[in-house]
Amino acid sequence: MSSQLSSLLTQTIGTFSISAILSAAVTLLICLVVVRVLLKLIRKLLAGSKLDQRVQKYIFAGIRLLLYIVTALIVADCLHINMTSLVALLSVGSLGITLAAEDILGNVAGGLVILSSHPFAIGDFVEVSGTSGTVDEISLNHTKLVTPDGLMVMLPNKELASSRMTNYTVLGRRRVTRKITASYDAPTETVKAACRQALEATENVLEDPAPSIYLTEYGSSSIEYTVYCWATVEHYWQVHFDLNEHLRTAFAQNNVEMTYDHLNVHLVEKHS
């Protein structure tokens, strides 16, 4: 009986012996069980982390692919397949794909950085690489911004992850800064009183931090004052423009001259 079994195991199917096929099948079964256990463990670890769900999804998919590739290599080794040429072919192929898709891979890496570090979220107003807009979509390859003039701009994540970015929304409030000039003849306290009047007339100005008014510069023909106040993100532009109008009205009511540049031309009569 044992001799018949040994004879059966030494028989071949194609280029593979039955014993090698059985060994590969058992190895495959064990590997699949191990992979399943590892994937369950990895899923739990990712779920308990603070990573974005989309990042967790991509990491899990990458690890699963890697485990299946390792399983395939182990099973191929049980079948006594020469892996040297296969590994070399895979290396050359992966190198070619990497060179061909360098920008795509860079964008994917940038997308993972953005999704894991959370520099902005959907709905935030940001400025990056000279483009300002509201974040409409964050994908693994690019981020969509909607500009204030109604344009859709798609920025590659590679550029976003490596460029300086300003997020105007994340803190929940923005400072409104208005510079205005007044005549040297106007007393400083009168000008400041007019500015305070304009601030009181402007709706949605936050009381904390409190608004402030400073004399900031002495010009050639006027004195510059700077008015600072804070507003929530959604009221920023309303406060910005309303304050402009109220400053003009308050200056007129307080008889403060709002100066502007003048050009004086003197005509000299030439006597013959």
Q: CA-CA-CA-CA torsion for 115, 117, 121, 126, nearest 10 degrees?
A: -120
Burial of residue 239 (number of CB atoms within 10 Å: 0-12, 13-18, 19+): buried
pLDDT at 5: 45
CB 175 within 8 A of CB 230: yes
CB 181 within 8 A of CB 219: yes
pLDDT tens column, 89-119: 666 666 555 554 556 667 777 777 777 777 8
- CA–CA separation, 112 vs 54, rounded Å? 9
pLDDT at 8: 47
Residues of the chain with pLDDT under 50: 1, 4-5, 8-9, 100
Q: Which CATH class is domain 16-100?
A: mainly alpha
- Please name the residue ranges forming H helices in 12-82: 18-47, 53-78
- CA–CA separation, 243 vs 253, rounded Å? 15
Full-prediction pTM beyond 0.75?
no
**Is 173-253 a CATH 3.30.70.100 domain?**
yes
Q: Which CATH class is domain 116-167?
A: mainly beta
125-128 and 12-13 beta bridge pairing: unpaired
Q: CA-CA-CA-CA torsion for 205, 128, 132, 117, nearest 10 degrees?
A: -60
pLDDT at 265: 63
C-beta contacts of 22-29 below 8 A and 24+ residues apart: 23/78, 24/75, 24/78, 24/79, 27/74, 27/75, 27/78, 28/71, 28/75
pLDDT tens column, 62-95: 788 888 888 887 887 777 776 666 666 666 666 5
DSSP 150: S
- CA–CA separation, 11 vs 229, rounded Å? 88
Residues of the chain within CATH 2.30.30.60 domain(s) are: 116-167
